[in-house]
Structure 1
Amino acid sequence: MKVQEMEQLVKQVTAFTLANSAERDSWEKAIAMSGLLAWGDDHALEVVQRWLDRAVATQNSSGNLCYGDAFKAAQAGIDYTPTGSLSSALGMPLLQVYENSRKQEYLDAAERQIQALVNSPRTSDGGICPRYEARELWVDFTYLTCPFLVRFGQITGEDKYIEEAVLQFEVHVAHLLDEKAGLARHMWCEVPNCYPQSTFWSRGCGWLLLAGIHLLELLPSHPKAGLFKDVVRRLLTAMSKHQDRNGYLRNTLDDPRSNFEASGTLMFAFAIPRALELDMDLVDKALIENALRAFGVVAGSVEPSGKIPGVTVPPGGPNVVYDWAMYGQGFFLLAAKALKPYLTE
């Protein structure tokens, strides 16, 4: 793919993303915000700021941004009451806009969201639970919470939030990263001790992989940086073994009957150039070809409207509906930005 072709797709994907925002989006829209912010388009930045203004305006009394009320995965009929984890997804784009604008209201809103997060129910070893209905851990929340905790701690000079992020990463890795396979399981329940959803889900592995990369970017000299590196190396190595020759990853990575899935494939494509940028011997340079194949095969599916099909919708995992989602749009934009230096003119 050439740069000009990719940039045209970025324009289409951006336009579709900006035109298809739902009022009650929260964590899904957060990934789209990160993708839009990465490209720096002035109109997109204005829209992202409006979305964040609405998220702050609807921040509830508990501190959760963008409503933060009962969440329903409509396609699967699953209801739960989120803790501070889900809406913390908005934390990183909120802090990015704060650093550009220095509007105190954004930092104040981030502080309320941080308190909602750290005051959430926990497992016995300190892991923050994503819902009130059970003491359990979900792999998604490594990405949705850990970078936010670190960046907030760095901005405010409060190291306790940095150490909280490291604890959350450690606890989730201990329960969810399979030692033998080098891949992450979706969900662990403390009582009874079990894995209610235990598949090696491509987007789930992507969440943990990108959390590790972000922590290395933010905390390269931290005493636990060796853990972050180990997790990133293991996941990249294992995920690459399950990449199909066409470039896609399957929704369930190790199930040859599982369908190809766009968002996990894009996360993989995004992670490789970001890992190479860190220059920590995290990944074989030859894997950039895997990233380009992954991005290229999804790019070929982009509809004229800018919609990216083939994305599993919430709650994720196996046997869910394929459609489009804001996080699929966002990870396309993030992967395109990261891979641009590797494309031909």
Structure 2
Amino acid sequence: MPQQESSEELVAKLIYKLLNNDQGADQFLLTLSDGRVIDTKGWNGWEWTHGVALFGLWEHHSLSLDPSSLEIITDWFEDRMAQGGTTKNINTMAPFLALACVVEKYPDHPNRVKYVGWLDEWAEWAMNGLARTEEGGFQHVTYVSDHDQQLWDDTLVMTVLPLAKIGIVLNRPHYLEEARYQFLLHVRYLSDTRTGLWFHGWNFNGRHNFAKALWARGNCWITLAIPMFLGMMMAARGETRWSAKWEEEDGLSRTLVSTLLCQLDKLCEVQDASTGLFHTLLDDPGSYLESSATAGFAAGALLALRLDMVPASDPRRGKYENMARKALSGVVSMIAEDGELRQTSFGTAMGHDLDFYRKIPITPMPYGQALALFAIVQGMASERSSSSSSSL
């Protein structure tokens, strides 16, 4: 990666800001009807923002074996549970992806029994307690609303991926089958067959896609979710490289890979040529450039390429690599001296018109730090993979 600072120096800056992100926090606190105040910006709250951050830290630990990243993860869980936990919803399920990874990698961890108990409790809630839409979709229940009959694209990262990983770790294949179904259902109702991109949401009440927003960060969850999910399946089989044979034997894998490639094709078209970033409405060059989504696109594309989901023989591989590297370079250029990922948009509810997305405020957020961290770590992993391959 062309930059003055090393990847590890950038990682250290991003993590520092992740843990020390109090700038203007009061403005962005989430006050609930029961009097609770949820801090989505700082490090001591419990929201999807922290779940994404925890997994970014896990990816760093997994690659570097840096014990400090692992300690941050386990300390966060211990502290939040000591405070009494929180309400179960789609977004608060997100942290358990990182915890499932800890349990899997460290079977002799001194807190394993306790951690398994937490995983079991939350996964059983997702399977049996979470509200469902028509056709059995995971309804996008949050702190503030049940969002009756609504599917949102970020559900795949926030709840479906943790459920799948817990299914692998606890050997519960019915969790995996549920995750497979949720992916197919979300593809059916949220993917835009015209562009290959994804709409932010779907409502069975009235059967519509709200503003039909091709929103950047919502799309980046898909770029991440598909290779992460299929990568889990590979790792469970003891494999490190994708095989076209799996697509021949598994219709879901074939569907998800083709869906991902359709999205990547369009992303190559709409990327800002001068910065490598993406507009917050992907098909609207008048909307502002947004860094967290760009980081997600870079990380997801680099992961898919590293796992060989786009084989070297595919002529599209080169343009995908170019897009991902330009995006990563753009993300690095947005990292401030204090570690803030600039041009990160605030958490975004469902918009009923496109102008709603154009007006989302920009502010440092945990998921911005984490997605940038994830992108840089994927870049590091790709470089190591390339070096290993060239030395054979």
Question: 1:144-200: CA deviations, max 9, x gaps?
Answer: 122212211112221110000011111111100011111100011111222224200
Preserved CA contact (<8 Å) 2:342 2:364: yes
Larger radius of gyration: 2
Does structure 1 residue 30 correspond to structure 2 residue 51?
yes
What's the counterpart of residue 67 of structure 1? 86
Counterpart of 1:45? 70
Do structure 1's residue 54 and structure 2's residue 79 form an aligned pair?
A: yes
Instruction: Report what 2:206 is aligned to.
Output: 192
Quote the offset at 1:209 in angstroms.
2.0
Tell me which moved more, 211-220 or 320-329.
Answer: 211-220
Deviation at 1:3, TM superposition (A): 8.2
1:228 maps to which of 239, 242, 256: 256
- Could you say which residue in structure 1 is the equivalent of 2:379? 339
Tell me, yes or no, if the aligned pair for 2:101 and 2:165 is still in contact at 8 Å. no
The count of aligned residue pairs is 325
SS in 2 for 1:120: coil
State the distance in 2 between where 1:133 and 1:268 align.
Answer: 27
Equivalent pair of 1:98/1:104 in contact (CA under 8 Å): no
Structure 2 matches for 1:252-267, cutoff 5 A? Answer: 252-267=281-296
User: Identity over aligned residues, as a percent?
Assistant: 24
Q: Which structure 2 residues correspond to residues 1-345 of structure 1 after superposition, within 5 A?
A: 1-2=2-3, 4-20=5-21, 21-40=42-61, 41-58=66-83, 66-68=85-87, 84-99=89-104, 100=106, 101=109, 103-118=112-127, 119-131=129-141, 132-220=146-234, 221=246, 222-245=250-273, 246-281=275-310, 284-315=317-348, 318=357, 319-340=359-380, 341-342=382-383
Q: Is the 8 A contact 1:88 1:144 kept in 2?
A: yes
- Give the TM-score normalised by the residue count of structure 1: 0.88
Could you give the per-residue CA deviations for residues 193-219 of structure 1, whole angstroms, max 9, x where no partner exists?
Answer: 222242001111111221111121122
Q: CA deviation at 1:307?
A: 0.9
Show CA shifts across 1:53-94 (max 9, x none): 1333456xxxxxx412xxxxxxxxxxxxxx631111111111
Q: TM-score, length-normalised on structure 2?
A: 0.78
2:35 equivalent in structure 1: none
Give structure 2 stretches of 5+ with no counterpart: 22-41, 235-245, 352-356, 388-392
Distance 1:297 1:215 in 2: 26
Which letter maps to 1:129?
A: Q
In structure 2, do the counterparts of structure 1 residues 153 and 223 end up closer, same or farther at CA, with 3 Å as the change threshold? farther
Alignment root-mean-square deviation, CA:
2.2
Equivalent residues of 1:14, 1:306 under 8 A apart: yes
